[in-house]
Amino acid sequence: MATISSIRTKLLEQFPEPQASLMATVFVESHDELIHRAEFNELTAVVKELAGAQQRTEAHVEELAEAQGRTEVRVEELAEAQKRTEARVEELAEAQKRTEARVEELAEAQGRTEARVEELTEAQRRTEARVEELAEAQMQTTWAVKDLAKQVGGLAGALGGSLEDFACDLVPELLEHHQGMVIASAGPEEIAVAGKPTEFDVVIRGTIDSAPVIILCEVKAAVSASEVRRFLKVVEWVRESTPGAEIRAMFFGFRADSQARRAIVSAGAAMVFTRGVMIP
């Protein structure tokens, strides 16, 4: 660093000694003052920068404090949501227990249903076996009727017997066998129809399940569809004139054509022919 003496020595080369000494002194003092002032300005600038940085730091700290506040609020909300979630999970756990209990009940019910189905299957087997037995019995009855028809035909020719007499003997037995009818009487009978006496080939009176029943039987060697319709109309007249009584229709003979058989079945009537027996 230059001193007053060194500066004065240089100035003496151009200036007188008093001026050189004064100028050296002023130059050094001015230089020191400028140095101090520059450092002060630099320090002031640094202080200002530090103050600005401090303000920015405080502002950032304030922002962080606000963010921390929002975070704490959010954490509180999440804590509440977690409580609700745990409560919901507990409810679902209870519902799961109830569901499992219900599934267990359904499994037990399924077991009972399967057992019941097995019982019904066994009952169905027994029913089918019984139907088979009844079909066999029906077939045997059919053949028996055919045999009896042949016998009656022979007897009628040999002894002068009638088809009506055969019906009086056979029809009650069939009704007892197929419908459990308790026979009170069976034979030809005259009944008033629309105020006029009408002769019926065979009238069977009795009870089924303790209820009185009257069977009106038309006997023909060969029954036609027109004869079926005519006789069913007469039976209907008897029903109208005998309220409260159960009146049923039956046809007995050696044979009937297909139209006659269909008419009998459609009317829900009974029939006994050499081709078979149909008693509803």
Q: pLDDT of the chain along its 280 residues, tens only?
A: 678 888 888 888 888 888 878 888 888 888 777 776 666 467 557 546 755 766 887 788 788 889 898 988 888 898 888 999 888 888 888 889 898 888 888 888 888 888 888 887 787 888 777 756 665 656 555 555 555 555 545 544 433 348 999 999 999 999 999 999 999 999 999 998 878 899 999 999 999 999 999 999 999 999 999 999 999 999 999 998 888 789 999 999 998 999 999 999 999 999 998 777 888 7
pLDDT of residue 65: 85
Name the β-bridge partners of 193. 196
Per the CB < 8 A criterion, the answer to whether 231 and 219 are in contact is: no
**What is the residue whose two structure tokens read 């600005």?**
52
Question: What is the model's pLDDT at position 234?
Answer: 94
Report residue 153 as tokens.
Answer: 């035909």
pTM of the model: 0.45
Nearest to 198 by CA among 236, 245, 151, 153: 236
Those residues with Cβ within 8 angstroms of residue 141's Cβ, 6 or more apart along the chain or in another chain: 174, 177, 277
Residue 12's SS3 state is coil
- Give the number of C-alpha atoms closer than 13 A to the C-alpha of residue 78, restricted to the C-beta side: 6
pLDDT at 18: 85
Cβ contacts of 239 within 8 Å, gap of 6 or more: 245, 247
How much is the pLDDT for 194?
Answer: 77
pLDDT at 271: 93
Crossing angle, helix 163-179 and helix 17-159, to 10 degrees?
150
Evaluate the CA torsion angle 261, 228, 137, 164 in order and state its sign. Answer: negative
Neighbours of 179 (CB within 10 A): 17
Q: How far apart are CA 84 and CA 99, in angstroms?
A: 22
Closest CA to 267 of 236, 221, 223, 222: 236
